[in-house]
Structure 1
Amino acid sequence: MSEIDLTPAAAARVAAIATKQSRPPILRLSVDGGGCAGFSYRFGFADGIEADDIRAERDGTTLVVDPISLDLVRGSAVDYVDNMGGASFRVTNPNAASGCGCGSSFSI
């Protein structure tokens, strides 16, 4: 199993946003303490890749995760979902014991 995965839909969305913003197609996923379930996911574009980052690459797009956050999201997949509930990046995290309705926080 890979340490983390980026789905084709997420890779396409990262590439589209990066092109519009004239940035490299690098999405950073990190985990912060807090949120309604204990931990929360944070997404942002990165200008570069740190030496200790774990990477997942798909279709010319890179997902990076720092080693501390990776302990909480190892084995996860980052997807991009666009439905009637809205459009957002989502994490399918096999380590999460529970989540919240908003889909952006979880507990272990």
Structure 2
Amino acid sequence: MSESTPITVSDSAARRIATIVAKGGGDGDALRVSVEGGGCSGFSYKYDLTAAREPDDLVIEKDGATVLIDPMSLPYMEGAVIDFVDDLMGQSFQIRNPNAVASCGCGTSFSI
């Protein structure tokens, strides 16, 4: 990952992560975001609460929230913004990824 295009977490995502972790009842103290093969468009995002940190994870801390990203997912997410949206369509984490050339309606699947 280049220093000029870091992965960022929006204010709304940081607030939501902190709220989820506070109510989580011991499931974990960080949100792990990863990219996996599969999904409608070829790749999909996966979200997990975890307490496990790996030495080579990218750790993003903001306003009491911690996001972990594994090194295999980093190239696919370079320059992305992790956001939380609450609108008429519902609530969800969304990733605005400049590397994605297509995505599907579910918002969790993309292609490069």
TM-score clears 0.5: yes
Unmatched 5+ stretches in structure 1: none
Partner of 1:51: 55
The partner residue of 2:39 within 35, 39, 56 is 35
Q: 1:95: how far off?
A: 0.4
CA–CA distance in structure 2, aligned partners of residues 73 and 17 of structure 1: 23
Partner of 2:25: 22
Q: 1:75: how far off?
A: 0.9
CA–CA distance in structure 1, aligned partners of residues 110 and 13 of structure 2: 20
- For the pair 1:9 / 2:21, whether they are aligned, the reply is no
RMSD: 1.2
Percent sequence identity over matched residues?
A: 45
Question: Per the alignment, in what secondary structure is the counterpart of residue 72 of structure 2?
Answer: helix
Figure out how many residues of one structure are paired with residues of the other and give that number. Answer: 108
Question: Per the alignment, in what secondary structure is the counterpart of residue 102 of structure 1?
Answer: coil
Question: Per the alignment, in what secondary structure is the counterpart of residue 35 of structure 1?
Answer: coil
Q: Deviations over 1:34-72 (max 9, x none)?
A: 100000000111113210001211112111100001111
Say whether the 8 Å CA contact 1:14–1:25 is kept in structure 2: no
CA–CA distance in structure 2, aligned partners of residues 71 and 38 of structure 1: 15
More helix by share: 1
CA–CA distance in structure 2, aligned partners of residues 66 and 72 of structure 1: 11
Unmatched 5+ stretches in structure 2: none
Partner of 1:75: 79
Question: Per the alignment, in what secondary structure is the counterpart of residue 91 of structure 2?
Answer: strand
Question: Per the alignment, in what secondary structure is the counterpart of residue 67 of structure 1?
Answer: coil
Shift >2 Å, 4+ stretches:
22-25
